[in-house]
A and B are shown apart, each in its own frame.
Chain A
Amino acid sequence: MPLRPERLSKYRNLTRSTEIEAINLNPIQSGGRAGNYPEVVKSVLNFIDGYSTCDYCIKGRLEEIETPPLCDFHADLAEFIEMDEVRLLPGCRQAQFAAFHSLASPGDYVVIDSLAHYSTYLAAERAGLKIIEVPNSGFPYFEVSPELYAEKIEEAKRVTKKTPALVFLTHVDYSYGNLADAEAIAKVSHEYDVPFMLNCAYTIGRMPVSGRKLKADVVVASLHKSFASPAPSGILAANGEYAEKIFRKSTVKGEWSGRTFPNKEVELLGCTLPGCVVVGVMAAFPYVAERVERWSEEVEKARYFSSQLTKIEGVIQLGQTPHNHDLLHFESSSFFEVARAHPRKGFFLYDELKARGVVGVQPGLSRSWKLSTYGQSWENVKKAAQAFLEIAEKYNIPVS
């Protein structure tokens, strides 16, 4: 049905100026900021047309296209994260589902950390799997210990008389930014001969990650979260026999037509990420390969930021201390008290920060909030921290 032009006018002139006008500390946006990298912007523009990567698709598979160099890119990316095989998918959640769906059967158990992203739960549910959660240590550190993984694997064995289909760990969780001891948990997993899957949504593209070193059998990651890439984009990587299972070829045959698709990979449903998104990911790669080498400085910035905010009475940083990642979670009884008496309630903190050129803290939150210092210059990190200190002083919250 034709729509009136007035109704369509709101879809014109879509713009966003957040990244130029303010210091953006939104933790889901910091690592995926792509516009700061000229080659990414240029490549996305050049490949803006839908199937633009398919001019020379001879073999019918994305990772085998030679121009633009997707074939080389897949190989280089696999080497970069030290895994045997890599495929690109439209997000980490799709990658999780593909791995769960290939490596487990409906009704199987998967042992997951209790800090896992909600999409891990949904991916398992969609694959018909049952989950067993590994508890965390709770307030204030919320850490997951390798020993508890062994307990939960035993629990799954008692219930099902067999080992779980998979052990799953979130490398850095999205709530507290804790860096889990992946290598130790992989060791536990392998002692039970269970494949170990690692979610690197908050690590690959930010910090050096080696699947080989961490003994991961399957690695998933979000490129639009941590790889300076356009959305939606993610990684599914696997080693050896698990790669063979996950990236198995189609065997279907049309019962009437006789059509077959032996070159297509079933879990990927064929081609996954054509056009400007995959080219944007490729163009981001040289920047990412360089920036992960500066990871220690990013941790230093986060720690500095934490040290400044915890000078404010009533503010504590949750999760590992000293912190090992740029994602920070703060809890503040003092800001919460201010919010209760403020006409704007919890929105006062957002308003005050915005007035000081800082955004990214979720509007309405004052008792606890998350932010990320990733990719910010030292000047910006200091200015953002100063903004919180100024707000504390304005509302007579003591600062030590």
Chain B
Amino acid sequence: MKRFYPPRTLLAWLVAIGSLGMLVMLPILFEGSYWQTLAFITFLFVSLSVSWNITGGYAGQVSFGHSTFLGLGAFATAIITLRTGLPAPFTIPIAGFLAMVYGFLWGYPTLRLRGPYFSIATIGVGEATRLLMTNLDDSLRNIPILKELVKYKPLTGGASGLTLRIPPDIQSYALKFYYGALLFMLGVLAISWWIRRSRFGLALFAINMDPDAAETLGVSTSRYNVLALMVSAFLVGVVGSLYAQYFFFIDPREMFSFQNSIAMVLMPIIGGIGTLWGPVLGAVVFKVVEDRLLTTHLEWGPISINFVQFNLLLYGLLLVLIILFEPGGVLGLLRRMKGSRLLRRAFAPARQKG
């Protein structure tokens, strides 16, 4: 391609390269671990948001059960590392794979349901998985043969969770994971970008817009829906694994929580569902708002207010506003404000390379 890049495209590239450069430099510029950890967790949440968007945004199957993949990935890594001594990074593909298999297992039957019925089924799957994993050790102890599994070491740890071995040099360990998560996030974005332009993406968008019409034109809706969920599950499983390795402690009640599933639904919706960059934007807004509210503490004379949990109220309000006034999310709002060709090109809902 010999075409001269229009200045706007150039600007977009500069912004992209600039922000990437800043992210690479961040751990060096801010020596303290707070910003680094915030950035790390934001990378993970961007990855979650973008991964969820493959099923929820592209194929239009709104899943409230994605915490099952997150938890499974985290526990796969923790359990394998604790029981076999395999170095944790080697368990990443296994974590993703197990999440993917689980995605197939519950996606295959539930994806036959349409729209809200699928979503309701996923809530059930999510809650059932959470309860099962939280009580797994206790349940196994009562089964004659299987109790050997939990005789010496816990499986999910129940209410007390699992703790991984903390490495001696925590600084360089965290730094490695910072860059690892950054790379993984870029990888997830690349996958999401590739799907949009691929034959696979065309099928997903067609299913999203009209499953019956897609089916008449030869698209096997059940097959592509399940495939999309499996890709999404794999990526979310890897995030779970990275989370466990970075924080060393995981609790089934938290990893499999409904709140995590909700977060994965909220982030893309806030940012702009079904788009490439919307879920990224949504995740950043989500994490930053949460962090600011968690750490803000207002003192006003004798009154002292802190905003822990206030973020949930704010997200609820945001969600209502978005659904009522701007289904395109923050991105849609930006696009409407600017009317810019660049934004429209970059974020068009379902455009495919022709």
> Do A and B interact?
no
